[in-house]
Amino acid sequence: MNEPRTSTSGSAPRRIRSFVRRAGRLTSGQQRALNELWPRWGVDDLNMLRDLDTLFGRSATRVLDIGFGDGEALLAMAEASPETDFLGVEVHAPGIGHCLIGAEAASVTNLRLIQEDAVDLLGVHLSPSSLDRTQLFFPDPWPKKRHHKRRIVQPKFLGFVCRVLKPGGTLHIATDWAPYAEHIQSVVADVSELKVTQYSGARPTTKFEERGRRLGHAIHDLVYQRA
């Protein structure tokens, strides 16, 4: 993807995004899942996110998983905690299709999937103080200095997270990239609403974490609580 351009025609500048929207190659199973299973687990009308009790048909603890990849870790959490409702947001269709296949196999009822930019989701579509936890596991670190502006963890993003978290709710970020961990800690330090809290260690392993460990990377779990 080319770098964002500032319009010379007087229109608004194109927003810097933290992801590259890749078409990817869908398997026949993933395409079938998107066609047949999305109506069961997917959310098309984003206005429904303003009332999560109606969306899930109950009142429960609510967790948002940002950028769930292939959905394996998200599904493991949903299966392990049937008393908790999980929202997963991802932009890449193959990963969504894979997650839908897993949701069907596990017959989970406490999961809904959204194909949307997470920043828009947090800033516009979710109601204030509607989530108990927001988790961001192994986001793209954009390691080159000229790309640091693309990192999702920025002041505006954290402001949106604080908007949707309940008082006492938590933000859990995991990364295997030490410079990104330092960046996260630096940015969060300027957000008065977020305070460092203890990490319980209860998190399924993701494929990105496994890859990082194979490369000898230390895993950084950073957890913050909304004051």
Catalytic residue positions, numbered: 140
Q: 194 pairs with which residues across the strands?
A: 226
Give the largest Cα separation in the chain, rounded.
52
Q: DSSP characters for 155-198?
A: HHHHHHHHHHEEEEEEEEEEES-HHHHHHHHHHHTT-TTEEE--
SS3 104: helix
Cα–Cα distance for residue pair 2/102, rounded to 1 Å: 34
Strands 111-114 and 84-89: parallel
SS3 225: strand
Instruction: List Cβ neighbours of 158 (8 Å cut-off, separation of 6 or more).
Output: 171, 187, 188, 191, 194
